[in-house]
Chains A and B, each alone.
Chain A
């Protein structure tokens, strides 16, 4: 059986639905202490908490959707931060620089993986 495109898209959406059934909680009291592995992700953590956490506290659902249970790739995270979508506003390069953008996308992916 070959993996046809519609099937892959459907699978991705099914994965997302399945992942959404899992917990998005990544706080230290719940999963234990998780130290950020490098300086770039540490920068990403600061950028995230200053800009993103107010709507996605700890990457969980709040005003906005949860991030920790979505298999979004880093490139798409960067795209959505720059362009916004739906209720989410866009962040210009004056608000989040190019380096910070890469760092925060890496942090979001790293944070998500801490639940594994």
Chain B
């Protein structure tokens, strides 16, 4: 139910009428009443604005899950004329989908998830009856994405333990690395890949940290003790502002010990103003490309925090989703929505000092409640970032995407983005679940429409709603003929006191088709 503002105005008009005994209200009371009428929305606004600090976090993962996961397509809402069905269920941490020359779908299972769960990364063929056949199994999780070209699969084998790789997988399951040693030992990994219209293989490389500084949050992720010398690497030389951060030092047993850490350096290393950090390739926070037969990586674009999803439009433009900052670590950044970018070759996209084309220096925008403003890490910025194609929900974890190219499915040229959903409260507080759906985005206007969501009065994952719908969509890819949108659903991941709690065997591959209705 919604109460329109006009209803309040009618009450005001009623109050201005003479009283039944014919006497008018005293003038001072009329003034007071008008002031109160004007102030009421202000009072209401103040009350609502205070909610963020006062209310607890209510992320979609902050729930309890009782196995098994149930599947009820009727619990998922789509625009008129579209239908959804599960193509495969019971998957372990699925992350990507691709199609062979016959149009048969294949999924990657990551083999690793936040929460410290390690299994075997696999490439599976999905059979028409929903069963799966193992094509390949690897040893370098997480496998974060897959594409198919020229009779082979290309997989981002992120190498959480030994460094990222992009590998070629033949139809017989033979795995051949195209490139290795990618800087994937930290928070974010190697993502994508996709084949471009120029025949090159494009992929995303995430950053080591949230906002450029190795901190205690990265110990919680577990990688600093394994790789204490790891840090972010710029693609080109950068000059530092010399900002350092003092934190507890978990590397020593003395609880009172402190560490001082700057940007682009290992934990416990201080920096100075105008210190130059040399650029290297491969670098972190970038879109890179290599030839499908292997070779050296080239930088396409950089200054991207975690470029997760990559897709080419029918017009030959590369679109990328970027997971924006979290409210964690030595340099928390508040209120930054995930971003859809149209990539311009050679551009710098702003990390670690911008969000969506806006400088982080504005404390009113980016200072987390109770924390210092993030300020700047760089003394000189490598450029001015472009404006984004769209800005998506804060903590929505907008991940895999594809661009529609078929009138059969509709919305040609628009992006369909899988939103994994928030990981609150670890990444920051949200007042309600954010994400857990597929959205449709017009890349020119930036207008965002829900496309596939769970039914009900509130948005959230099926486990939170206690329904049989979507959990955590992580990838979206159209079939080769463009008539069906396949959505990879990672499965249930609750967020407990110790962090993420992924549930094996709860992943689903969904298939969405259009079976009628007007032309969208």
- Please give the residue numbers on chain A whose beta carbons come within 8 Å of chain B beta carbons, in ascending order: 2-6, 8-9, 11-13, 15-16, 18-19, 21-23, 25, 27-30, 32-33, 45-46, 49-51, 53-55, 57-58, 60-66, 68-74, 76, 79-80, 84-90, 109, 112-113, 115-116
| B-side contacts of A113, CB under 8 Å | 2, 4
Are A23 and B458 CB-contacts (below 8 A) given A62-B393, A65-B51, A80-B45?
yes
CB–CB A19/B445 < 8 A:
no
What is the CA–CA distance of A22 and B395 in the complex, to the nearest angstrom?
24
CB–CB B1/A19 < 8 A:
yes
CB–CB A30/B391 < 8 A:
no
CB–CB B79/A63 < 8 A:
no
Select which of B79, B395, B432 is within 8 A of A60 by beta carbon.
Answer: B432
Q: Please, what's the 1-or-0 string for B2-31, where 1 marks a CB less than 8 Å from any CB in chain A?
A: 111101100110110001000001000100
Are A85 and B49 CB-contacts (below 8 A) given A28-B79, A63-B431, A71-B4?
yes
Closest to B449 in A: A28
What is the CA–CA distance of A68 and B2 in the complex, to the nearest angstrom?
8
Judge if B114 is at the interface, Cβ distance under 8 Å: no
Determine the main DSSP class of B at the interface with A. Answer: mixed
Q: Interface size on B (CB < 8 Å)? A: 70
A-B contact count (CB 8 A): 198
Q: Could you jot down 11 A-B contacts, CB within 8 Å?
A: A8-B12, A53-B392, A54-B335, A54-B336, A65-B431, A72-B5, A80-B45, A80-B49, A85-B45, A109-B5, A112-B4
CB–CB B79/A29 < 8 A:
yes
CB–CB A45/B48 < 8 A:
no
* Contacts A16-B3, A23-B458, A62-B434 known; 5 new A-B pairs at CB < 8 A: A3-B14, A9-B43, A12-B40, A13-B44, A71-B8
CB–CB A53/B448 < 8 A:
yes
- Please give the residue numbers on chain B whose beta carbons come within 8 Å of chain A beta carbons, in ascending order: 1-5, 7-8, 11-12, 14-15, 19, 25, 29, 32-33, 36-37, 39-53, 77-80, 335-337, 362, 364-365, 369, 390-396, 428-432, 434, 445-453, 455, 457-459
Are A8 and B40 CB-contacts (below 8 A) given A33-B80, A71-B5, A116-B2?
yes
CB–CB A63/B394 < 8 A:
yes
What is the CA–CA distance of A22 and B4 in the complex, to the nearest angstrom?
13
